[in-house]
Amino acid sequence: MADSRDVKVLLVGHCGFDSGLLTRAVAKALPRAEVVLVNTDEDLSPRLSPETILLVNRVLDGQFAVSSGIDLIAGVSGRAEAGPTLLISNYEDAQAEAERKGAMPGFGKNDVGTELAAERLREAAEVAMRGDG
């Protein structure tokens, strides 16, 4: 398992309730990770780094140029400054599309707090710690 002390997790486009659930799930899986809520493009861009994990909502809350988390993933995937991205969605077709756009396997809101979510977070942390998001 990665030593998560230098990993930052951005919760991108989530409502307050979901952000709380995700923050607790991240703390359980990656106890030393820093969690930051991001709800605008202006907050997202300067926080991108290869060592930063993005947990992206399927339908973005906040003020973004796009409303779809999949479109956001497509826009950041492959950028040198972007770290691993995971879509948070219960829909399998959305997960598959996000992976085609460059995301790592994500998980659904129904899976928050489960071992599946923890494993996906730890896998993303391994990638982030290598800095090759």
pLDDT in tens, 27-76: 999 999 999 999 999 999 999 999 999 999 999 999 999 999 999 999 99
Whether the CA torsion 102, 126, 121, 118 is positive or negative: it is: positive
Q: Can you give the pLDDT at residue 133? A: 59
Q: Can you give the pLDDT at residue 2? A: 46
The pTM of this model reads: 0.94
Confidence check: pLDDT of 131 > 80: no
Confidence check: pLDDT of 1 > 50: no
φ/ψ of 132, rounded to 5, equals -125, 35
Task: Map residue 84 onto helix, strand or coil.
Answer: coil
Q: Can you give the pLDDT at residue 81? A: 85
pLDDT in tens, 92-114: 999 999 999 999 999 999 999 99
Nearest to 62 by CA among 95, 83, 37, 28: 37
Confidence check: pLDDT of 132 > 80: no
Q: Are 98 and 106 in contact (CB under 8 A)?
A: yes
